[in-house]
Amino acid sequence: MLRQRFVLDTSALTDSATREAEGFESLCVGINGILDIISDARLSYDISCYVPYPSVYNELRDFARNNGCDETVIAKIDTWLVKKTPDRYEVKIPSKIFYDYVDYMRSRINKGMTVAEDAILEAATECLFITSQSKDKKKIEIEIERDVIGSIVGKFRDKYRTALRYGILDSAPDIDVLLLAKELDAAVVASDMGIQRWAEQLGLRFVEARSFPSIIKEYLHHKNK
pLDDT tens track for 33-87: 999 999 999 998 889 999 999 999 999 999 999 999 999 999 999 999 999 999 9
- 186 CB-contact burial (10 Å; exposed 0-12 / middle 13-18 / buried 19+): buried
Which residues of the chain are under the pLDDT cut of 70? Answer: 1-2, 130-148, 165, 223-225
Q: What residue segments make up the domains of the chain, in order of their start?
A: 5-93+172-223, 95-165
pLDDT reported for residue 23: 94
d(CA 57, CA 128): 52
CATH superfamily placement of domain 5-93+172-223: 5'-nuclease (3.40.50.1010)
- Contact (Cβ atoms closer than 8 angstroms) between residue 159 and residue 115: yes
Length of the chain measured in residues: 225
pLDDT value of residue 124: 80
SS (HEC) of 109-168: HHHHHHHHHHHHHHHHHHHHHHHHHCCCHHHHHHHHHHHHHHHHHHHHHHHHHHHHHCCC
Q: Tell me what pLDDT residue 19 has.
A: 94
Task: State the Cα–Cα distance between residues 20 and 34, nearest whole angstrom.
Answer: 13
Give the pLDDT score at 1.
46
